[in-house]
Amino acid sequence: MNVILVMVQSVNGKITKGSSPNIYTWTSKEDQDFFFSLLQKHNLTVMGNTTYQASKGRFKLSDKRLRIILTRHPESYEAEHIPGKIEFTNATPVELLASLEKRGYKQLLLVGGGEMNTLFLRENLVDEVYLSVEPLVFGAGKDVFATGDAEASLQLLSVKQLNRKGTLLLHYRLDK
Protein backbone atom coordinates (compact mmCIF):
# COMPACT_ATOMS: atom_id res chain seq x y z
CA MET A 1 0.00 0.00 0.00
CA ASN A 2 1.22 3.49 -0.84
CA VAL A 3 1.25 5.63 2.32
CA ILE A 4 1.39 9.40 1.80
CA LEU A 5 2.18 11.47 4.88
CA VAL A 6 0.80 15.03 4.69
CA MET A 7 1.89 17.72 7.14
CA VAL A 8 2.19 21.47 7.54
CA GLN A 9 4.82 23.04 9.77
CA SER A 10 6.39 26.33 10.75
CA VAL A 11 9.91 27.12 9.57
CA ASN A 12 11.22 25.80 12.89
CA GLY A 13 9.38 22.46 12.50
CA LYS A 14 6.31 23.01 14.70
CA ILE A 15 2.97 21.47 13.65
CA THR A 16 1.00 23.19 16.40
CA LYS A 17 1.22 26.71 17.71
CA GLY A 18 1.89 26.14 21.38
CA SER A 19 -0.57 23.64 22.81
CA SER A 20 -3.40 24.49 20.41
CA PRO A 21 -4.14 21.67 17.94
CA ASN A 22 -6.05 24.07 15.64
CA ILE A 23 -3.74 24.53 12.66
CA TYR A 24 -6.35 26.51 10.74
CA THR A 25 -5.54 29.64 12.75
CA TRP A 26 -2.03 29.88 11.28
CA THR A 27 -1.89 27.91 8.02
CA SER A 28 -2.33 29.72 4.72
CA LYS A 29 -5.42 29.45 2.54
CA GLU A 30 -3.23 27.98 -0.20
CA ASP A 31 -1.99 25.19 2.05
CA GLN A 32 -5.51 24.46 3.24
CA ASP A 33 -6.73 24.37 -0.38
CA PHE A 34 -3.96 21.90 -1.26
CA PHE A 35 -4.74 19.71 1.75
CA PHE A 36 -8.47 19.58 1.10
CA SER A 37 -7.86 18.83 -2.60
CA LEU A 38 -5.77 15.83 -1.52
CA LEU A 39 -8.58 14.67 0.77
CA GLN A 40 -11.00 14.88 -2.18
CA LYS A 41 -8.69 12.81 -4.42
CA HIS A 42 -8.14 9.99 -1.93
CA ASN A 43 -10.71 7.59 -0.55
CA LEU A 44 -8.77 6.59 2.58
CA THR A 45 -7.43 8.81 5.36
CA VAL A 46 -5.81 7.70 8.62
CA MET A 47 -5.30 9.97 11.63
CA GLY A 48 -4.79 9.75 15.35
CA ASN A 49 -7.31 10.67 18.01
CA THR A 50 -5.82 14.11 18.71
CA THR A 51 -6.02 15.09 15.03
CA TYR A 52 -9.55 13.72 14.87
CA GLN A 53 -10.64 15.81 17.86
CA ALA A 54 -9.05 18.95 16.37
CA SER A 55 -10.63 18.48 12.93
CA LYS A 56 -13.94 16.84 13.84
CA GLY A 57 -16.13 19.55 12.37
CA ARG A 58 -13.97 20.17 9.30
CA PHE A 59 -14.56 17.05 7.24
CA LYS A 60 -17.76 15.54 5.95
CA LEU A 61 -18.49 11.84 5.97
CA SER A 62 -19.01 10.24 2.59
CA ASP A 63 -19.90 6.83 1.18
CA LYS A 64 -16.88 7.26 -1.10
CA ARG A 65 -14.29 7.96 1.60
CA LEU A 66 -13.17 6.03 4.66
CA ARG A 67 -11.68 7.85 7.64
CA ILE A 68 -9.81 5.67 10.14
CA ILE A 69 -8.93 6.99 13.58
CA LEU A 70 -6.23 5.22 15.54
CA THR A 71 -6.99 5.42 19.24
CA ARG A 72 -6.06 3.44 22.34
CA HIS A 73 -9.78 3.27 23.23
CA PRO A 74 -11.92 2.57 20.13
CA GLU A 75 -14.75 1.42 22.39
CA SER A 76 -15.18 5.05 23.48
CA TYR A 77 -16.33 5.89 19.95
CA GLU A 78 -18.96 3.21 19.35
CA ALA A 79 -21.65 5.86 18.82
CA GLU A 80 -19.56 7.61 16.12
CA HIS A 81 -18.39 4.43 14.35
CA ILE A 82 -20.00 4.04 10.90
CA PRO A 83 -18.49 1.11 8.96
CA GLY A 84 -17.10 2.21 5.60
CA LYS A 85 -17.24 5.92 6.54
CA ILE A 86 -15.54 6.48 9.89
CA GLU A 87 -13.94 3.69 11.88
CA PHE A 88 -11.99 3.64 15.13
CA THR A 89 -9.29 1.08 15.88
CA ASN A 90 -6.36 0.33 18.13
CA ALA A 91 -4.61 -1.82 15.51
CA THR A 92 -0.90 -1.32 14.96
CA PRO A 93 0.06 0.38 11.70
CA VAL A 94 1.19 -2.96 10.22
CA GLU A 95 -2.06 -4.68 11.23
CA LEU A 96 -4.10 -1.76 9.92
CA LEU A 97 -2.43 -1.73 6.51
CA ALA A 98 -2.82 -5.50 6.14
CA SER A 99 -6.52 -5.20 6.95
CA LEU A 100 -7.05 -2.29 4.56
CA GLU A 101 -5.23 -4.07 1.73
CA LYS A 102 -7.55 -7.06 2.19
CA ARG A 103 -10.43 -4.62 1.79
CA GLY A 104 -8.99 -3.48 -1.56
CA TYR A 105 -7.38 -0.17 -0.60
CA LYS A 106 -4.13 0.68 -2.39
CA GLN A 107 -3.29 4.15 -1.09
CA LEU A 108 -3.84 6.16 2.08
CA LEU A 109 -3.25 9.65 3.35
CA LEU A 110 -1.68 9.79 6.78
CA VAL A 111 -2.71 13.09 8.36
CA GLY A 112 -1.91 12.52 12.01
CA GLY A 113 0.49 14.29 14.29
CA GLY A 114 4.02 13.55 15.42
CA GLU A 115 3.20 10.35 17.29
CA MET A 116 1.24 8.90 14.36
CA ASN A 117 3.95 9.92 11.88
CA THR A 118 6.60 8.24 14.02
CA LEU A 119 4.59 5.02 14.39
CA PHE A 120 4.30 4.64 10.61
CA LEU A 121 7.86 5.78 9.88
CA ARG A 122 9.33 3.42 12.48
CA GLU A 123 7.72 0.48 10.63
CA ASN A 124 9.06 1.78 7.28
CA LEU A 125 5.49 2.19 5.99
CA VAL A 126 5.67 5.76 4.64
CA ASP A 127 6.30 6.05 0.89
CA GLU A 128 5.81 9.76 0.20
CA VAL A 129 5.70 12.99 2.17
CA TYR A 130 3.97 16.26 1.32
CA LEU A 131 5.32 18.88 3.70
CA SER A 132 4.12 22.46 3.60
CA VAL A 133 6.38 24.97 5.30
CA GLU A 134 4.67 28.16 6.43
CA PRO A 135 6.92 31.24 6.83
CA LEU A 136 6.32 31.45 10.58
CA VAL A 137 8.31 30.65 13.71
CA PHE A 138 6.67 29.49 16.95
CA GLY A 139 8.43 29.39 20.27
CA ALA A 140 6.60 26.23 21.28
CA GLY A 141 4.56 23.47 19.69
CA LYS A 142 4.58 19.84 18.69
CA ASP A 143 7.12 18.47 16.24
CA VAL A 144 6.48 16.69 12.91
CA PHE A 145 7.90 13.51 14.45
CA ALA A 146 7.77 12.46 18.09
CA THR A 147 11.00 11.71 19.89
CA GLY A 148 12.00 8.16 19.18
CA ASP A 149 14.04 5.82 17.07
CA ALA A 150 12.42 6.41 13.68
CA GLU A 151 14.83 7.36 10.91
CA ALA A 152 14.48 7.77 7.16
CA SER A 153 16.26 9.12 4.13
CA LEU A 154 14.18 11.11 1.66
CA GLN A 155 14.57 12.24 -1.93
CA LEU A 156 13.11 15.59 -2.94
CA LEU A 157 10.75 15.24 -5.91
CA SER A 158 9.45 18.81 -6.17
CA VAL A 159 9.24 22.23 -4.55
CA LYS A 160 6.37 24.62 -5.20
CA GLN A 161 5.84 28.11 -3.80
CA LEU A 162 2.15 28.31 -2.91
CA ASN A 163 1.82 32.05 -2.32
CA ARG A 164 3.63 35.39 -2.39
CA LYS A 165 4.32 35.20 1.33
CA GLY A 166 6.54 32.18 0.77
CA THR A 167 4.60 29.07 1.82
CA LEU A 168 6.49 26.15 0.29
CA LEU A 169 5.13 22.72 -0.64
CA LEU A 170 7.82 20.05 -0.59
CA HIS A 171 7.17 16.60 -2.05
CA TYR A 172 9.49 13.74 -1.07
CA ARG A 173 9.78 10.03 -1.74
CA LEU A 174 11.34 7.91 0.97
CA ASP A 175 14.40 5.85 0.10
CA LYS A 176 13.68 2.26 1.05
Chain segment 58-85, per-residue pLDDT in tens:
778 888 999 999 999 999 999 999 999 9
Q: Where do the domains of the chain lie, and which CATH numbers do they carry?
A: 2-113+120-161+171-175 (3.40.430.10)
Q: Burial level of 106, CB count in 10 A (0-12/13-18/19+)?
A: exposed
C-alpha distances out from residue 118 to 41, 124, 126, Å: 24, 10, 10
Chain segment 5-63, per-residue pLDDT in tens:
999 999 999 999 998 888 889 999 999 999 999 999 999 999 999 899 888 877 788 88
- pTM for the model: 0.94
